[in-house]
A and B are shown apart, each in its own frame.
Chain A
Amino acid sequence: MTWTLVFVLAAGAYAFKVTGLVILGGRTLPPVVDRCLALIPAAVITALVMKDTFSTGRDLVLDARAIGIAVAVVAAWRRVPLIAVIVLGAAATALVRLIS
């Protein structure tokens, strides 16, 4: 991590927030752009979950993390609060590592 990256990240993240709230304001975007932008969280967050669960660097791996995420998926499906999903997922992973 470099300070340049810290400040570029900060400027970029704030630019998006300001563009939406202050600059574009109440203006409407073409519906097709709106529809695509709305799908960013679902697509990108799923990808992040996949990367952090099934990979180490550029290798696809299957280890204790998969069990932890499976537990988290069940917890989320049962509508358990955010914090409990995190704790259950982490605890399940730690437990598998402990006994394997």
Chain B
Amino acid sequence: MMVACLTLSAAVGVFGVSFGVASVSAGSSVLQTCAISLLVFTGASQFSAVSVIGSGGSFGSALGGAMLLAARNGVYGLAMSRRIEGSLGLRMLAAQMTIDETTAMSVAQPDPRAQRIAFWFTGVALYFFWNLGTLIGALAGNALDPTTYGLDVAFPAGFVAMLWPLLTDARARLAALLGGAVCVVAIPITPVGVPILLSALAVLVGVRRPREVAS
């Protein structure tokens, strides 16, 4: 389990390098880029924000898109609250680490003790590798053009991989299809950043009860 946690964390570190490159080429300073990874610490929101700013979007649309993506960490927090025990301070610290990977690694473990260990171990390793990767990418970013090595595709490619396990559910597939379609239709007709916000309307697929949705 430790090996799986470490492998995942190191892989995410590489993702961190591509965040560092993306952020610096979108106009952030090295210090800002590192501060984002240290403080925000949720990859999807970070990428979304720098990508919207980089393509000329406003403060509001950058923030809105990033916050929509950050909202799911609240849902993960609800799931993890039954597994993470301890003082208020410890739970406040656990909150910062409540993201896709830590939640996924934790809920995959068979018993409560292993779930706690997986959460903390993945959280600490991931925090280290993500921020190290960001620093490396931010420093290298000024020196290299991300399109040369296809690094501009690293982010969406990584998301394709993270998306895949979610799509086993029929409603998630429908939401993904609608979200993607809304975004593509909205790109030429709305300001930069807005298509991502509009895509969230696809979650209304969830209003209907599961049994009533044909799968």
Contact = CB atoms under 8 A, between A and B. Distances in A.
B161 A6 contact: no
Classify the secondary structure of B's interface with A.
Answer: helix
B180 A49 contact: yes
Interface residues of B, number: 109
16 contacts: A14-B95, A17-B73, A22-B77, A37-B72, A39-B202, A40-B72, A42-B172, A45-B44, A46-B199, A49-B160, A50-B184, A52-B156, A58-B191, A71-B157, A76-B160, A93-B153
A50 B98 CA distance: 26
Interface in B151-180: 151-164, 166-167, 169, 171-173, 175-180
Interface in A56-86: 56-60, 64-65, 68-69, 71-73, 75-77, 80-83, 85-86
A61 to B, nearest CB: 10
Contacts, number: 315
Contact of B40 (A13, A32, A39, A75): A13
Interface residues of A, number: 78
